[in-house]
Chains A and B, each alone.
Chain A
Amino acid sequence: MKIDVPEKWDKEYDVVVVGWGSAGTAAAVTAHDQGAKVLILEKMANGGGNSSICGGNIIVPKGKEFLEYLETLSFKTTEREILETFAEEALKNGDWIRQMGADVQVFRPLEVAYPTMIAGAGFPHVRGAENVVKYNIKGTPEEGKPSQRLWKFLSGLVAKRGIQVLTSAPAQELVPNARGEIVGVIAQREGKRISVKARRGVILTCGGYENDPWMKWDYLPVKPLHFLGTPGNSGDGIRMAQKIGADLWHMTRLACLIGFKAPEFEAAFWVAFLSEGFLFVDKYGRRFVNEAGIEIHEYYKELSHFDIEKMEYPRIPLWAIFDEQTRKRGPLSRGTAGYNRDLYSWSLDNSAEIGKGWIQQGKTVTELASKISMESKVLEETLARFNHLCKAGKDEDFGRPREDLRALEAPFYAIQLWPSLINTQGGPRRDKESRVLYPDGKPIPRLYAAGELGSIWGFLYQGACNIGEALVFGRIAGKNAAAEKPWA
């Protein structure tokens, strides 16, 4: 489809950044500091995207051997030179943050919850894993969660420089000229179409497609998938890039947890258990996994089993069954991260959620099974077997470690859980210079991308790397876009 270059532009800048999260900020700040006049277009009423509601950790690897780890995780889905660039530049993330006026602290979490947020590598057996070190912006709990501190720092950089941000202004189209150079962006603001000229370049940093049901259905390996992050990520950058002929990559990749979906909330709630007293069962009441052994970003891999005969995913949704001690221990959704964090305060003993019917309660297994429409005999057998294994101190069925086992006692509770996206990783293919590429590998002139939109994560994902990558390739994109010669 042809997009005409406007004869008269509504606004004119050197560099236009589409999307205001970590990548957008790093790109805009770097371009600005190189002398470019920068505009950020943000679809939502506020910036932050997933960066302001995620775990807030940033990879700063210990050494260059981190590259070996990256190569194994990528499973040959990302070129070595791109991984090399990431490994080298991620080493500088901490220094960049310090140069920008904040400080960092090593992430050393309380490893008390299931799923467990861990300090080190998600795949510790892989060569080079010891180089994974996560940091976050230094601060106290009173100064906010790590991601709140991150966003306060990043948005402050934009404010301090007076970089112009247009919020509630979704970008809709990229504007190529006759030579195929991307020379501007068409956006929507207050019901009007606005054209923004980009004299030097356009940088796409507008996230993935967690909130686009059709793209998810088409590309991702489990169905349905809810999302934990921002509803603003609905594939806009992908559609814009496709329209001008960009290649796509990593479209089937995702970072995925489990979450509870309440109909009155757009996003799902991130759920974690603060005690060992819980187990997962499929929709028929059968246990299927070592619940304590799933890598926190790779839950979908355990849920993607498809039953050909029944033509269904028997583990979607799954049910988590837990007991009174676990209920009282703490809230199932802790507000560590997720879009709902600021919208709802989960009760500390989960009683409010029982009252709402989000959590089902039964004095006996039979009563609980009846409430969740499950065959009680199967659930009774599953629970009896689980308790037997806990008391024996050995999970012969799925290998859950002894320290993570505790037999459940009545009364029992159940919550329905769904695979829930932290983010998708796919989008326009890019090179080590953050340039967006055509299918033949040639760069699309003056178009750059960074962040979760077409990220480098093509197979397995290491936690804290999406933010780390957003900063790295955001900086590169900002530097390169600002260095382009103005086309007019």
Chain B
Amino acid sequence: MRIVMAGTVLAERNFIVNANPDRVWRLIGKVIFSVLPGMESMEILDENNFRSLLRVKMMGFEWVLKLRGEMVDISPPESFSVRLLLEGLGGLVKADQKVSLAMTPAENGKTSVACRAATEDMGFLQRVFLSGQARAFARETFEAIERRLKELA
């Protein structure tokens, strides 16, 4: 399955997991939340919405950002997206990202996983100063998802 998304692409990653799509689907939710580094005080607002604090390193300092997440476009066991709204530093940092994952059957009962993160909304200053951080964060998250999924599969 191809993910179609608007906005600026921050990171993409494709990999194969040695498990069928149903198994990957069962793992993926918990994997995402367990690999997101620095996620604290998670509050589940309802079955598809959560908010939490995210402790991140930017420009050599540790910052605490407010994170609001919404699971959207859920289509088991093929794809889903998490819309992430980040806010911090007294409103100076604001970002709206969409992280999408699509799982398609591959040969020999394996699953091809396509990850993509894109910004939905980012101001000019934030694009200049923070898009590098956002790209790095998305990249690291996808790497961690791949590592953990492959461990568990």
Decide yes or no: A146 and B46 within 8 Å by CB, A108-B74, A403-B152 being known contacts: yes
Binary interface encoding of chain A residues 343-362 relative to chain B, with 1 for a CB under 8 A from any of its CBs, else 0: 00000110000000000000
Q: Are A112 and B74 in contact (CB-based, < 8 A)?
A: no
Q: How far is the CB of B16 from chain A (nearest CB, A)?
A: 18
Selected from A113, A146, A329, A403, the residue in CB contact (under 8 A) with B39 is A329
Binary interface encoding of chain B residues 16-37 relative to chain A, with 1 for a CB under 8 A from any of its CBs, else 0: 0000000000110111011000
Q: How far is the CB of B50 from chain A (nearest CB, A)?
A: 6
* A interface majority secondary structure: loop
* Minimum CB distance partner of B82 in chain A: A110
Q: Are B46 and A145 in contact (CB-based, < 8 A)?
A: yes
Alpha-carbon gap, A329 to B42, bound state (A):
6
Residues of B within 8 A of A274 (CB): 33, 42, 44
Confirm or deny: A434 has a beta carbon within 8 angstroms of a beta carbon on chain B. Answer: no
Decide yes or no: A110 and B43 within 8 Å by CB, A141-B49, A402-B152 being known contacts: no
Confirm or deny: A328 has a beta carbon within 8 angstroms of a beta carbon on chain B. Answer: yes
Q: Are B47 and A112 in contact (CB-based, < 8 A)?
A: no
Confirm or deny: A249 has a beta carbon within 8 angstroms of a beta carbon on chain B. Answer: no
* Minimum CB distance partner of A327 in chain B: B40
Given contacts A111-B26, A275-B34, A403-B30, 20 further A-B contacts (CB under 8 A): A108-B48, A110-B44, A110-B71, A112-B29, A136-B47, A146-B47, A274-B33, A274-B44, A328-B40, A329-B39, A329-B41, A330-B41, A331-B43, A334-B44, A336-B44, A348-B43, A393-B151, A402-B152, A404-B30, A406-B34
Q: How far is the CB of B75 from chain A (nearest CB, A)?
A: 9
Confirm or deny: A117 has a beta carbon within 8 angstroms of a beta carbon on chain B. Answer: yes
Q: Are A403 and B31 in contact (CB-based, < 8 A)?
A: yes
Confirm or deny: A163 has a beta carbon within 8 angstroms of a beta carbon on chain B. Answer: no
Confirm or deny: B58 has a beta carbon within 8 angstroms of a beta carbon on chain A. Answer: no
Alpha-carbon gap, A136 to B43, bound state (A):
20
Alpha-carbon gap, A170 to B16, bound state (A):
62
Within 8 A of B (CB), among A131-189: 136, 140-141, 145-146
Binary interface encoding of chain A residues 304-345 relative to chain B, with 1 for a CB under 8 A from any of its CBs, else 0: 000000000000000000000000111100101000000000
Decide yes or no: A329 and B40 within 8 Å by CB, A107-B47, A141-B45, A141-B46 being known contacts: yes
Confirm or deny: B76 has a beta carbon within 8 angstroms of a beta carbon on chain A. Answer: yes
Alpha-carbon gap, A109 to B30, bound state (A):
12
* Minimum CB distance partner of A325 in chain B: B40
Alpha-carbon gap, A146 to B30, bound state (A):
22
Confirm or deny: B131 has a beta carbon within 8 angstroms of a beta carbon on chain A. Answer: no
Residues of B within 8 A of A276 (CB): 30, 34
Selected from A108, A146, A334, the residue in CB contact (under 8 A) with B71 is A108
Q: Are A334 and B31 in contact (CB-based, < 8 A)?
A: no
Selected from A109, A275, A402, the residue in CB contact (under 8 A) with B47 is A109
* Minimum CB distance partner of A276 in chain B: B34
Chosen A-B contacts, 20 in total, with CB atoms closer than 8 Å, are A108-B47, A108-B74, A109-B48, A110-B47, A110-B48, A112-B44, A141-B45, A141-B46, A146-B46, A146-B47, A276-B34, A329-B41, A330-B42, A330-B43, A331-B41, A331-B43, A334-B44, A348-B42, A403-B27, A403-B31
* Minimum CB distance partner of A403 in chain B: B152
Q: How far is the CB of B81 from chain A (nearest CB, A)?
A: 12
Alpha-carbon gap, A145 to B48, bound state (A):
11
- Please, how many residues of chain A have a CB less than 8 angstroms from a CB on the other chain? 30
* Minimum CB distance partner of A277 in chain B: B34
Selected from A110, A140, A275, the residue in CB contact (under 8 A) with B50 is A110
Confirm or deny: B14 has a beta carbon within 8 angstroms of a beta carbon on chain A. Answer: no
Q: Are A119 and B76 in contact (CB-based, < 8 A)?
A: yes
Alpha-carbon gap, A179 to B26, bound state (A):
58
Confirm or deny: B133 has a beta carbon within 8 angstroms of a beta carbon on chain A. Answer: no
Alpha-carbon gap, A348 to B152, bound state (A):
29
Confirm or deny: B52 has a beta carbon within 8 angstroms of a beta carbon on chain A. Answer: yes
Selected from B26, B40, B43, B52, the residue in CB contact (under 8 A) with A334 is B43
Alpha-carbon gap, A393 to B150, bound state (A):
13
Residues of B within 8 A of A334 (CB): 43-44
Q: Are A111 and B29 in contact (CB-based, < 8 A)?
A: yes
Alpha-carbon gap, A348 to B53, bound state (A):
10
Selected from B30, B41, B76, B151, the residue in CB contact (under 8 A) with A112 is B30
* Minimum CB distance partner of A275 in chain B: B34
Q: How far is the CB of A277 from chain B (nearest CB, A)?
A: 10
Alpha-carbon gap, A117 to B48, bound state (A):
12
Residues of A within 8 A of B42 (CB): 112, 274, 329-330, 348
**A-B residue pairs, 6 tightest by C-beta:** A330-B42, A348-B41, A109-B47, A141-B45, A111-B29, A141-B46
* Minimum CB distance partner of B32 in chain A: A112
Q: How far is the CB of A59 from chain B (nearest CB, A)?
A: 15
Alpha-carbon gap, A336 to B43, bound state (A):
10
Q: How far is the CB of A262 from chain B (nearest CB, A)?
A: 20
The CB with the most chain B CB atoms within 10 A, among A110, A112, A113, A406, is that of A110
Q: How far is the CB of B103 from chain A (nearest CB, A)?
A: 15
Residues of A within 8 A of B74 (CB): 108
Binary interface encoding of chain A residues 111-124 relative to chain B, with 1 for a CB under 8 A from any of its CBs, else 0: 11100010100000
